[in-house]
A and B are shown apart, each in its own frame.
Chain A
């Protein structure tokens, strides 16, 4: 491999790689049982093909020194913003949402790719000399960094992805030394701003989803249908699951979006509580490695990059599983590595590439 010396290869985080491969295998085998779209296992094969593309992306990202990537972050960020603007102008509309850009034969979801640009940009800003020491000034500088793209993404509409940007930014600020006093103030301000977001940014159906989450009986015919069916699917999996043939909820298409956002429910129905523990253990291992890399890296840029991508993956996993199990409102976030989707897969792999990159260069 070009540009990687042998010392770097010795430091590959194998448990992280193992957890990733395990999750992709679970994803493909779950997708293979669903008859979605074209003939039979079509989605599973395409997911594996995307994994291959992601692997290349991972190697490319890992082979470059992450410090060079962070130095170039403003460029990536601006390019990402431009892509988001492009989507809002000539994006492809699928079932009412304008989220995709056609690039040759594939449709790309720029809001997914933007997440990586955002992490790099946030690290660049937090570690820049203007933000030192990390306090009010840093906050004022960082806020528009998330608010502008979030507004663009909410308009697509893709509430989930937009919301994700904030915990990641917050985690980076906190790790970079934001005073806890300011953090408290920020939380209060966020609560105060909620009504504003409620009336200005959210669309009717998004508001409805949140209301339904708070009170499922509000609309058992419409919006709550997904939640109720997902709960039935998960619950009826019981301890050991129904197996592939018995998973009627999933196979008979009671579940909407079962190969994308609700894939966890399919998995839970098929393999039960025990299967879910295995799946969550894979994520736990992956996240634990991420936090460990961040904690054990003393070089600040590397630490923050590792922390940023770990938080990104962690919040996606928590929000997705939380929403499918009925703990959170339905916002439409894919489950990293599990949900079917090319953009999501490639972005997850790039995030892991960054983690591996930081790990490999930890002891230089």
Chain B
């Protein structure tokens, strides 16, 4: 490096002038001056104007106003809404704006409690569990009436920190409409809060499809950051994030059929499943008594809740998948299928029914006093003759019947997309040589099983799947509830094309015979005659599931079954009806099925004609 100008760059000799040093010191001076300016500014901001800014900081009442995303809507298969949203009022507290002084705060809460008739303790409890300096409103009570809102607004100045928010809330066509299918929506409970997926006050689906599809239905809340004055009035909007509404769910349910089935079951306990045998679509799913789904949404009084939980009729139970019953004579279809396919039973086999069947020292009775006389298989199906099936069942064998029952899906879950499904039970008979009296499998159990009694248990949904297989020639469908889920911004995010879970292999002759015998049972003087509608070829089997009488009051209160499909040639719909303690299937369940078939086929025809 060569010598620089005036000795700036290049090795310095000590003693020579160092002008660069002087310039550096000037720079240091400039930086010091700048720092001094900053200190002066801080003095101005913090000391001279500090009080003013302190006030501004105290008054800095920014509020975060959450905008709840409307929950996604569930539609039926034709695009009719099964559930909707309507605006509802929610009482909320803003912790940071409540009075600091505990006494003054309690006075506010007391005023609020007496205005709205809310227990004071409930409000105190709500305040106690929230952090005191949060600016996020905390919901205290949903579903305020217009009167409540008016009262709160009137007393607004005396109620610092209390606000009324408007949020979308679930609205249902009728109070109990499809309650078990849809499920209810409530604030996240403590357990759900612990999972960390929800915030306090979030609405979460608690049962049915609302729970299953909660993730899709809930959407994403938006919010506004607003500045408010001391009275809580909005001065200006600082920031706003749009809420993203939840996804729309297209179900397989037909609202018209669902309504008709619910009407038909009014006042009875039991369930109805209507299924499309061609694809497993659940067209209707009714469990009665139902709970009042709209009362469960929002705030429910403790007593009302207890009443529902302690109700001996268990309205919360979804009987279509969570209750198990003996199938009764409906099971004769399985026995007939097993015998015909295995060759141990022929359509021409005859039995003389005297009304009683003797096995060792036990006597098994027919439902008809005096018996049916001489019957072949078709007659036995038509009149649901027990004695015929006692005898033939024994010949076919318990293990074989159990095998066919399992093939038809009994004893295994239908894998429907709802939680808490029961499996049912098919007793497992050992081989005949293991037979011992007082232990193991007893021949009497095979006899009982042949008419669908004894230890055997099924759910109505399993029966619907089974009847669909009979109708469609052996395909076991997973019951489908949801066709597709559509996000407003992204289109279809989930869809279900139907799932086959099994096949039952029977010869075409056997299928034909089963269908014919079921048609005869309804249309040719059989037990299912009460379901008959001229012009519609309904095929069906009645069943009467005996209750094991625990007391005298239980005696004679049998469950009534009717399992059916139509039209018999190209089945489009399966209807399964179960009425608890209803009595005889042919007298109680079949007429209900008739009403439902009527709604499905005739009212549709009528409406089309009207439309034309």
Q: Give residues in A with beta carbon < 8 Å to B.
A: 126-129, 132-135, 171, 174-177, 221, 225, 229, 231-239, 248-249, 251-252, 254, 268, 272-273, 276-277, 280, 283-284, 287-288, 291, 294-296, 298-300, 303, 307, 311, 314, 318, 321-322, 325-327
CA distance A232 to B52 in the complex (A): 9
Are A327 and B50 in contact, with the CB atoms below 8 A? no
Known interface pairs A234-B45, A276-B42, A307-B24. Does A177 touch B6 (Cβ–Cβ under 8 Å)? yes
B5 touches A133 (CB 8 A): yes
A159 to chain B, nearest CB (A): 19
Known A280-B38, A291-B27, A325-B38; judge A235-B45 contact (CB<8 A).
yes
> Per a CB cutoff under 8 Å, which of B21, B42, B237 touches A325?
B42
How far does the Cβ of A247 sit from chain B's closest Cβ, in whole Å? Answer: 9
Contact residue among B19, B28, B62, B133 (Cβ-Cβ distance under 8 Å from A288) = B28
A298 touches B4 (CB 8 A): no
The answer on a CB contact under 8 Å between B38 and A327 is yes
In Å, the complex CA distance between A234 and B38 comes to 12
A354 to chain B, nearest CB (A): 16
Q: Is the CB of A238 within 8 A of B8?
A: no
CB pair B236–A221 under 8 Å, yes or no, is yes
Query: How far is A56 from B237 in the complex, measured between Cα atoms in Å?
Result: 48
Q: Is B146 an interface residue (CB 8 A)?
A: no
Interface pair A268/B42, CB less than 8 Å apart: yes
**Is B20 within 8 A of A303, CB to CB?**
yes
Q: Which of B14, B46, B236 has the largest number of chain A CB atoms within 10 A?
A: B46
B605 at the interface (CB under 8 A from A): no
**How many angstroms from the CA of A143 to the CA of B50 in the assembled complex?**
44
Contacting A at CB under 8 A, from B46-90, are 46-47, 49-54, 56-57, 60, 62
A132 B4 Cβ-Cβ under 8 A: yes
In this complex, what residue of B is CB-closest to A313? B31
10 CB-based A-B contacts, threshold 8 Å:
A132-B1, A132-B2, A134-B5, A176-B9, A177-B20, A234-B45, A249-B60, A291-B25, A300-B10, A326-B45
Q: Is B600 an interface residue (CB 8 A)?
A: no
Q: Does B18 contact A (CB under 8 A)?
A: yes
A232 with B56: CB separation less than 8 A: yes
Distance between Cα atoms of A298 and B16 in the complex (Å): 11
User: Which of B14, B47, B135 has a CB less than 8 Å from the CB of A238?
Assistant: B47
On chain B, the residues within 8 Å of A133 by CB distance are 4-5, 8
Give the contact-size bracket for chain B. Answer: 35 or more
Q: Which residues of A contact B499 (CB under 8 A)?
A: none
* Across-interface contacts of B21 in A (CB, < 8 A): 295-296
How far apart are B238's CB and chain A's nearest CB, in angstroms? 7
Question: Chain B contacts of A277 at CB under 8 A?
Answer: 39
Contacts of A249 in B (CB 8 A): 57, 60
Task: Name the CB-closest residue of B to A292.
Answer: B28
The 10 closest A-B pairs by CB, nearest first: A235-B53, A177-B8, A133-B5, A238-B50, A236-B57, A291-B28, A298-B12, A273-B46, A235-B45, A236-B54
B42 partner residues in chain A, CB cutoff 8 A: 234, 268, 273, 276, 325
- B120 interface residue, CB < 8 Å from A? no
Find the A residue at minimum CB distance from B20.
Answer: A175
Chain A residues with CB under 8 Å of B47's CB are 238-239, 273
**Cα of A249 to Cα of B60 in the assembled complex, Å:** 8
- Contact of B35 with A by CB under 8 A: yes
Residues B46 and A238 in contact, CB atoms below 8 Å apart? yes
Nearest-CB residue, chain A, relative to B11: A299
Instruction: Please give, as numbers and ranges, the residues of chain B lying within 8 Å of A229 by CB-CB distance.
Output: 60
A236-B54, A295-B25 given. 15 additional CB < 8 A pairs?
A: A133-B5, A135-B5, A236-B50, A237-B46, A238-B53, A238-B54, A239-B46, A248-B133, A251-B133, A252-B96, A291-B28, A295-B28, A300-B11, A311-B27, A327-B41
Per the bound structure, the CA–CA distance linking A299 and B51 in Å amounts to 52
Q: Is B43 an interface residue (CB 8 A)?
A: yes
Question: Which residue of chain B has the shortest Cβ distance to A128 in the bound complex?
Answer: B1
- List of B residues within 8 angstroms of A294 by Cβ: 24
Q: Binary interface profile of B, 442-481, with partner A (CB < 8 Å = 1, else 0)? A: 0000000000000000000000000000000000000000
Query: With the chains together, A171 CA to B238 CA distance in Å?
Result: 42
Asked if B433 is at the interface (CB within 8 A of a chain A CB), the reply is no
- State whether A252 touches B133 (Cβ < 8 A): yes
B227 CB, nearest partner CB in chain A, Å: 10
How far in angstroms is the closest Cβ of chain B from A361?
A: 14
Across the interface, A300 reaches (CB within 8 A) one of B9, B39, B51, namely: B9
Q: Which residues of B contact A288 (CB under 8 A)?
A: 28
Most buried by B among A129, A174, A232, A288: A232
Q: B23 near A: Cβ within 8 Å?
A: yes
CA distance A251 to B35 in the complex (A): 28
Cα A127 to Cα B1 with chains together (Å):
7
Instruction: Determine the chain A residues whose CB is within 8 A of the CB of B18 once the complex forms.
Output: 298
Cα–Cα distance between A292 and B51 once the two chains are bound (Å): 40
A251 to B62 alpha-carbon distance, docked (Å): 13
A291 to B6, CA, bound (A): 21
The answer to whether residues A280 and B39 also contact, given A175-B24, A177-B6, A234-B46 and a CB cut-off of 8 A, is yes
Q: Are B50 and A235 in contact (CB under 8 A)?
A: yes
